[in-house]
Structure 1
Amino acid sequence: MARSLLEVKGIESFYDKSQALFGMSFSVQEGEFCTLIGRNGMGKTTTVKSVMGLLSPARGQVLFEGRPLEKLPPYRVARFGLGLVPEGRQIFTNLTVHENLVATARSAGRSGGDWTLERIYQLFPSLARRDKNLGSNLSGGEQQMLAIGRALMTNPRLLILDEATEGLAPLIRKEIWECLAELKRMGQTVIVIDKNIGPLLRLADCHHIVEKGQVVWSGSSASLRARPELLERYVGV
């Protein structure tokens, strides 16, 4: 039976005096592929920041395997096994592909279960060909692959991708979705934020619709397909 890996309970987060999250609550089971979807400015990225320790919630709890994270700095959150692919990629542009991947690498401590350079290069062959290139010399798609590879090299229990395919060419988006499908087959627990609903409906086990800093609906892909009015109301432009 799947167990709860992440629980976000009623968190309220602020930017100075401006409140961005109003009781944000959801959970992710181990091995699930979940989404946070909604229009821009509704609190999805703020939720990610609050989970990862980049923004400290004023109220509420963030629990990872029952352990509270909400007051911890980002480096300690990461040590618990949370990996982030941030919006805008944020790779180290002055380091090579190889250096980016090994800079924050961390063993999972499982026999045969670690992500290694070899496995990352098998997942993204184009990175292997660009091994000695600086991050600044990569295309946007290659930078996103590198950001995903860098997060996987921390061997995360939970991988979070904020705007997984934003601004990428269709062929590169297809490669990223294929990568995420492979991670799902491997049993990796994933949270994805993205505007491309079609691939999310094919891949995700559960969806959380975010509106004005809180989850207004949660359910499976089948349930969401049966409720197209939800996408029109909360996600459509």
Structure 2
Amino acid sequence: MNPLLSLSNVNAFYGASQALFGMSLDIEPGAFVTLLGRNGMGKSTTVKAITGLVRCASGAIRFDGNAVHALPSHRIAKAGLGLVPEGRQVFPRLTVRENLLATAVNRRGAGEPWTLPRVYALFPRLKEREKHLTSNLSGGEQQMVAIGRALMTNPKLLILDEATEGLAPLIRSEIWQCLAQLKTGGLSILCIDKNLAPMLTLGDHHYIVDKGRVAWQGDSTALRQDINRLQTYLGV
């Protein structure tokens, strides 16, 4: 089986400063893959390269069998990438319902597409607040909106950059439970987060990113056993 997403020796820059150094990773269909590492090590830059927000200076990115590294970001999104960006970036002057409908589309003719009722079933409190402006929601509720908005594009791959950053413990737990449901449903997921325990529980494969390159990769069992690696790269 070919990977759904593949990065091969990707180099990327911010101006004259190189941020990615031969970044390579694969995501198989239906897999939950994580990017781990300290702040500033290249995790978010990797996501930006995948989504076309940072240009690849060299290397290749293939998604669903097609090269996408030279495409503009909107073309990459249309190919089937759903992004939950760092900081949520919901539309503050739109209601919950309007946020969810703003990007809703089913380009690939999914048999069970994401619709408002389906998102509300995943996040019942969004149904309760569907007429509220998102600027009046809590951070956790805004993150639910951001996830629901990405799902309404019916993506083949859902990418979450800092899935539960800054959220209260109960809300974090609810988000992880919903991500577990999405994994069980067969959705491919790439996730960045600092909460290691749920990542180890859900993750099929992990990449530790250090100074713009992959320092380690493996499954949850291998990562749990490699205490030295956890302490060196994650500080735990």
**Shorter-normalised TM range:** over 0.9
One-letter amino acid matched to 1:142: E
Counterpart CA distance in 2 for 1:231 and 1:98 is 41
Contact 1:108 1:114 in 2 (8 A): no
1:106: which partner in 2? 105
One-letter amino acid matched to 1:204: G
One-letter amino acid matched to 1:188: L
Shift in Å, 1:65: 2.1
2:60: which partner in 1? 61
1:219: which partner in 2? 218
Superposed, 1:69-108 pairs within 5 Å as: 69-108=68-107
Counterpart CA distance in 2 for 1:78 and 1:62 is 14
2:185: which partner in 1? 186
Counterpart CA distance in 1 for 2:91 and 2:32 is 27
1:3: which partner in 2? 2
One-letter amino acid matched to 2:165: E
One-letter amino acid matched to 2:57: A
Residues 203 and 26 (structure 1 numbering): CA distance in 2 closer, same or farther, change over 3 Å? same
One-letter amino acid matched to 2:33: C
The number of residue pairs the alignment matches comes to 236
Q: C-alpha deviations, 1:190-228, integer Å up to 9, x for none? A: 000000000111111000000000111111001111112
1:33: which partner in 2? 32
Q: SS at 2:94's partner residue?
A: coil
Counterpart CA distance in 2 for 1:217 and 1:176 is 27
Q: SS at 1:105's partner residue?
A: coil
Shift in Å, 1:108: 4.8
Shift in Å, 1:111: 5.5
Counterpart CA distance in 1 for 2:5 and 2:112 is 21
Superposed, 1:121-136 pairs within 5 Å as: 121-136=120-135
Superposed, 1:138-217 pairs within 5 Å as: 138-217=137-216
One-letter amino acid matched to 1:92: F
Gaps of 5+ in 1: none
One-letter amino acid matched to 2:25: F
Shift in Å, 1:38: 0.2
Shift in Å, 1:110: 3.7
Residues 24 and 157 (structure 1 numbering): CA distance in 2 closer, same or farther, change over 3 Å? same
Counterpart CA distance in 2 for 1:225 and 1:175 is 24
CA RMSD of aligned residues (A): 1.0
Residues 70 and 111 (structure 1 numbering): CA distance in 2 closer, same or farther, change over 3 Å? closer
2:14: which partner in 1? 15
Residues 21 and 163 (structure 1 numbering): CA distance in 2 closer, same or farther, change over 3 Å? same
Counterpart CA distance in 1 for 2:70 and 2:110 is 32
Shift in Å, 1:229: 1.3
Shift in Å, 1:231: 1.0
Q: Larger deviation: 104-113 or 30-39?
A: 104-113
One-letter amino acid matched to 2:146: A
Contact 1:13 1:55 in 2 (8 A): yes
Counterpart CA distance in 1 for 2:109 and 2:103 is 18
Counterpart CA distance in 1 for 2:215 and 2:141 is 35
Q: SS at 1:230's partner residue?
A: helix
Q: SS at 1:34's partner residue?
A: strand
TM-score by length of 1: 0.97
Q: SS at 2:20's partner residue?
A: coil
Residues 72 and 174 (structure 1 numbering): CA distance in 2 closer, same or farther, change over 3 Å? same
Q: SS at 1:160's partner residue?
A: strand
- Give the ranges of 4+ consecutive aligned residues of structure 1 lying more than 2 Å apart after TM superposition: 108-112
Gaps of 5+ in 2: none
